[in-house]
Amino acid sequence: MSLKLYNSLSRKIEDFVPINPELVTMYTCGPTVYYYQTIGNFRTVILSDIVHRVILFNDYKVRHVSNFTDVGHLNGDHDDILDPNTGEDKIELQARKESKSAKEITDYYIDDYKQSLNQLNIKSRTFTRATEYIKEQIDMIQVLEKKGFTYRTSDGIYFDASKFSAYGDLSGYKANQILEGARVDINSEKRNPNDFALWKFSKPEDNRLQEYESPWGVGFPGWHIECSAMAIKELGVSIDIHIGGEDLRMIHHQNEIAQSECATGEKFANFWVHGAFLQVDGGRMGKSLGNAYTMQDLVANGVDPLAYRYLCLTAHYRSPLNFTWESVNAAQNALHNLYSQVEELKEVKNSEIDSTYHSRFKEALNEDLNLPRALAVVWDMLKSGIPDETKVVTLAEFDKVLGLNLLDHVGFVIPKKVEDLAKTRDAYRKAGIWDKADIIRKEIDSLGYLVEDTKSGYKLKRKI
Ligand code: AMP
Ligand code: ZN
């Protein structure tokens, strides 16, 4: 069964057919690197990683690019609905707050983000920084200008959305329609509500830390243009899959399509994949609400980052996922149970994979990334009566997509010292010498093992 994906552009599940079967191209809208990323951001990162791995699982090669917004994202879009071309630059604000340069800020938060990606087992991808593609952004704006898609206002060069007839195909909002729920636009020089800045002029009073020469004067690129310029430079004018959180569909991605297709005359992306938001305690996550948790918060509360990854896999990517400390702890317990089951498997080389479980797993993935069902297949296989060695090689295939480090736990051998302690403890118990048995249980515990008493004796487990 071949891969099917829901395409937000057609609003249908479609067969995935790559433009070039030799190399699938993917672009994921990455973070604005002015602060620590939230676990919500990482839900979308995990989605893009799953898409990447599922493409590989279907025997394609992939080139995956993801950006860092390190300039030009203004904070006028607090409600994720208004124009991100207004307000203050998020990076400049943070740099002033921390008395650092913009580069020091973005380097620091990029580094922090990459550490989290490692902890979450995100496969390597090519990163691009908006500040390293200023020329490409200017070139693209010039092409748009020559083709008559732009106009000038007192604060910048704008894209005229009414000149792109397909404007609204992705968002559902035509160029001159005001987005539902949006506040009245504060920029009265815009011709249509959905026009957006391609280039913003620096105002002397802003004393900007990051500004660049351009044919229109000193300034900086608007937020949307960076993704189009970087995607086209790195992946070509038409890409297979473009990914982001659902908040980006209405404005950012619609604008990426408009400017890219007007500049190149080609379809920008065949598939648009949008992940539903992570909610916290059933509602919005926000810094002001004190629930915008970071990966550090999870780790400080004893949560293994891979337990968070597991939690994300338990919900379909197009359904909201509610984060609570209970839900992430339950995911951690489930993951540890999985590890315990895997530890009981004995590793024997040279076995064939189980084709029935493998095709059930692949079918679940290929039906629009049904990871909850794929996880159920993993549990079913572990419970089944197929030989251990078959389980191990099949699991190795599954973990290529799950990314849960399952193989690290195969055939774990309890150290002899721990086995001996457990035997001694058992002898004390049988003799009714409970205090000594308890001292040994504590010693076993301090070595990282748990001893569980069973009807037939005892069982040793590694504490994970
Ligand atoms: P930003 O740094 O706000 O530009 O966001 C970076 C990426 O994270 C984008 O793809 C957003 O759609 C995504 N994102 C932000 N918040 C959440 C959330 N609560 N749940 C899922 N994805 C999110
Ligand atoms: Zn983008």
Instruction: Label residue 229 exposed, middle or buried (CB < 10 Å: 0-12, 13-18, 19+).
Output: buried
Separation between Cα atoms, residue 275 and residue 362, nearest integer Å: 20
Separation between Cα atoms, residue 111 and residue 107, nearest integer Å: 6
Separation between Cα atoms, residue 297 and residue 303, nearest integer Å: 9
Q: What is the average pLDDT score of the chain?
A: 92
Pocket of ligand 1 (CB under 6 A): 29, 31-32, 40-41, 43-44, 244-245, 247-248, 275, 277-278, 285
Residue to mutate, 28, 29, 41, 254, ligand 1, most ligand atoms under 8 Å from C-beta = 41
DSSP designation for 447: T
**Cα-based distances in Å from 317 to 83, 250, 252, 274:** 26, 18, 20, 8
Residue 456: CB atoms within 10 Å: 6
**Whose alpha carbon is nearest atom 14 of ligand 1?**
41
Residue 50: CB atoms within 10 Å: 25
Which residues, in sequence order, are bridge partners of residue 196? 159
Does the pLDDT value for residue 86 go beyond 70?
Answer: no
Helix, coil or strand: residue 255? helix
Token pair, residue 101, equals 């340069």
Separation between Cα atoms, residue 344 and residue 193, nearest integer Å: 61
246 Cα–ligand 1 center, Å: 8
Q: What is the structure's pLDDT at 113?
A: 97
**What values do phi and psi take at 197, rounded to 5?**
-75, 130
Token pair, residue 197, equals 């800045």
Separation between Cα atoms, residue 14 and residue 17, nearest integer Å: 9
Please say whether the beta carbons of 159 and 122 come within 8 A. no
Separation between Cα atoms, residue 229 and residue 395, nearest integer Å: 40
In this prediction, residue 8 has a pLDDT band, given cuts at 50, 70 and 90, of: very high
Ligand 1 nearest-atom number relative to CA 243:
10
Separation between Cα atoms, residue 445 and residue 371, nearest integer Å: 35
The residue written with tokens 């496969």 in the block is 123
Question: Residues 6 or more apart from 383 whose CB is under 8 A from it?
Answer: none
Separation between Cα atoms, residue 90 and residue 69, nearest integer Å: 10
Ligand 1 nearest-atom number relative to CA 44:
22
H-state helical runs in 301-415: 305-313, 325-343, 355-366, 371-383, 388-402
Separation between Cα atoms, residue 43 and residue 30, nearest integer Å: 12
Which residues, in sequence order, are bridge partners of residue 25? 63
Does the pLDDT value for residue 461 go beyond 90?
Answer: no
Does the pLDDT value for residue 77 go beyond 90?
Answer: no
Separation between Cα atoms, residue 80 and residue 284, nearest integer Å: 12
> pTM (2 decimals)?
0.90
The mean per-residue pLDDT over the stretch 245-257 comes to: 95
Ligand in nearest proximity to the CA of 42: 1
Helix, coil or strand: residue 413? coil
106-133 pLDDT, tens digit each:
999 999 999 999 999 999 999 999 999 9
Question: Residues 6 or more apart from 220 whose CB is under 8 A from it?
Answer: 71, 72, 89, 199, 200, 202, 208, 210, 211, 212
330-365 pLDDT, tens digit each:
999 999 999 989 988 887 677 899 999 999 999 999
331 Cα–ligand 1 center, Å: 22
- Give the DSSP H/E element, type plus range, for residue 64: strand 62-68
Please say whether the beta carbons of 228 and 266 come within 8 A. no
248 Cα–ligand 1 center, Å: 8
Does the pLDDT value for residue 186 go beyond 80?
Answer: no
Helix, coil or strand: residue 362? helix
Handedness of CA 452, 453, 456, 460 (dihedral sign): positive
126-160 pLDDT, tens digit each:
999 999 999 999 999 999 999 999 999 999 999 99
Q: What is the structure's pLDDT at 424?
A: 93
Residue to mutate, 51, 70, 75, 247, ligand 1, most ligand atoms under 8 Å from C-beta = 247
242 Cα–ligand 2 center, Å: 9
Ligand 1 nearest-atom number relative to CA 29:
10
In this prediction, residue 82 has a pLDDT band, given cuts at 50, 70 and 90, of: very low
Ligand in nearest proximity to the CA of 48: 1
Question: Residues 6 or more apart from 187 whose CB is under 8 A from it?
Answer: 83, 85, 86, 153, 155
